[in-house]
């Protein structure tokens, strides 16, 4: 580990699919309780990095450390039980189950599990829909369920993949409120998001990707003002 406060650390990550290089020598750290924003144009490798951090993708090269232990070879279910939770860009609810059951499979049963499930549903504003089948939910509620289900696993690091995408400003604001509560409980957050002004309300640090590399990493305001970032992302439109 580089510093005593870093809890999740990816070093020298390379990812190629055949001839296509998606990530190239990426170093990425998250401190305990830190909220890190990730921006970059489509195809820059943001979701790929998140998949590698969550364990659903094994990188071609590089290592992932969590709480000082090498977790590069651990699959996503193991990593989740260690404390790394994630949401999916396109929500993936368990459609045949109710909202309550969706979070319950993540918390486990019994009194403690029930309590945590209810608490997470209340926090995400879903408790009134607890007995609704998840495949009957609209986008807003699916996004909230993604978040609720990830929180139900009691994570130390929460990986969010465009959780605000496709939402109205008011809807996104509610989500920000929930995420801030989570942040207040000292859960570290990695948040990929295109809607920068939403992101800026939460994050402590901003990382910008372009073409598989980190091109800026630091204070959110500084990174936003960086000429390379403006060129790669905010000014340009490559998608």
Partner 1 sequence: MSEEQPMTHYRVQRWSVPAYVANGGFALLVLALVFVPSVFGTFLTQQLTSLLILVILAAMWNALAGFGGLVSVGQQAYIGLGAYGTIYLTQHGVAPYPAMILAALAAGVIALPTSLLLLRLRGGQFAIGAWVVAEVFALLVALDQSLGGGTGISLAALNVYSPDRRQAYTYWLALGCAAVLLAVGYLMLRTRLGASLQAIRDDEEAAAAVGIRVMSAKRILYIFAAIGCGAAGSLTLANTLFIQTQAVFDVQWSAYMIFMVLVGGLGTLEGPIVGAVVFFLIQNKFADYGAWYLVGLGATAIVFALFLPRGLWGTMEMRFDIRLLPVGYYLRRRKRAS
Q: What distance in Å separates the CA atoms of residue 96 and residue 78, rounded to the nearest whole number?
A: 24
Structure tokens at 191: 């948040």
Site size for partner 1 (CB under 8 A)? 41
Binding residue (CB under 8 A) for partner 1 from 32, 67, 101, 140: 101
Structure tokens at 98: 């109710």
Using rule CB under 8 A, residue 105 touches partner 1: yes
182/214 with CB nearer partner 1 = 182
| Footprint of partner 1 on 42-81 (CB under 8 A) | 54, 56, 75-77, 80-81
Residue 9's DSSP bridge partners are 29, 65
**Please, what is the minimum distance in Å from the beta carbon of residue 163 to partner 1?**
14
158/199 with CB nearer partner 1 = 158
Q: What is the dihedral of CA 197, 202, 208, 212, to 10 degrees?
A: -120
Using rule CB under 8 A, residue 211 touches partner 1: no
Burial tier of 25 (Cβ tally within 10 Å: 0-12, 13-18, 19+): middle
**Please, what is the minimum distance in Å from the beta carbon of residue 91 to partner 1?**
9
The answer to whether the beta carbons of residues 118 and 127 sit under 8 Å apart is yes
**Please, what is the minimum distance in Å from the beta carbon of residue 198 to partner 1?**
23
Candidates 4-12, 21-29, 122-130, 164-172; binding stretch for partner 1 (CB under 8 A): 122-130
Going from the C-alpha of 94 to that of each of 101, 136, 146, 165, the distances in angstroms are 9, 11, 10, 20
Candidates 7-15, 28-36, 92-100, 198-206; binding stretch for partner 1 (CB under 8 A): 92-100
Structure tokens at 166: 């496709």
The answer to whether the beta carbons of residues 198 and 52 sit under 8 Å apart is no
DSSP string of 34-81?
-EEEEE--TTSSHHHHHHHHHTSS--SEEEEEETTEE-TT--HHHHHH
Going from the C-alpha of 110 to that of each of 101, 125, 155, the distances in angstroms are 13, 22, 19
| Footprint of partner 1 on 146-175 (CB under 8 A) | 149-150, 152-153
Binding residue (CB under 8 A) for partner 1 from 70, 122, 169, 219: 122
Binding residue (CB under 8 A) for partner 1 from 11, 32, 130, 211: 130
11/114 with CB nearer partner 1 = 114
Binding residue (CB under 8 A) for partner 1 from 21, 33, 119, 194: 119
**Residues that bind partner 1 in the complex, under the rule CB under 8 A:** 54, 56, 75-77, 80-81, 85-86, 88, 92-98, 100-102, 104-106, 108-109, 111, 114-119, 121-122, 127, 130-131, 149-150, 152-153
């Amino acid at each position: 580990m580089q510093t005593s406060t870093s809890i999740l650390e990816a070093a020298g990550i390379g990812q190629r699919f055949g001839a296509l290089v998606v990530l190239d020598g990426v170093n990425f750290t998250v401190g305990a309780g830190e909220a890190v924003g990730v921006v970059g144009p489509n195809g820059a490798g943001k979701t790929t990095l998140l998949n590698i951090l969550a364990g659903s993708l094994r990188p071609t090269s590089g290592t992932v450390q969590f709480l000082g232990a090498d977790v590069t070879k651990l699959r996503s279910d193991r990593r989740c039980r260690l404390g790394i939770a994630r949401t999916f860009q396109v929500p993936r609810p368990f459609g045949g189950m109710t909202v309550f059951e969706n979070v319950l499979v993540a918390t486990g049963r019994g009194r403690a599990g029930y309590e945590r499930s209810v608490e997470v549903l209340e926090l995400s504003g879903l408790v009134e829909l607890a007995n609704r089948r998840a495949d009957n939910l609209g986008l807003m509620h699916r996004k909230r369920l993604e978040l609720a289900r990830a929180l139900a696993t009691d994570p130390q690091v929460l990986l969010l993949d465009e959780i605000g995408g496709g939402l109205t400003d008011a809807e996104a604001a509610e989500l920000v409120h929930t995420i801030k509560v989570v942040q207040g409980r000292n859960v570290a957050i990695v948040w990929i998001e295109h809607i920068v002004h939403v992101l800026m309300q939460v994050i402590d640090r901003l990382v910008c990707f372009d073409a598989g590399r980190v091109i800026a990493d630091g204070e959110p305001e500084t990174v936003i003002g960086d000429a390379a970032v403006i060129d790669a992302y905010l000014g340009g439109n490559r998608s």
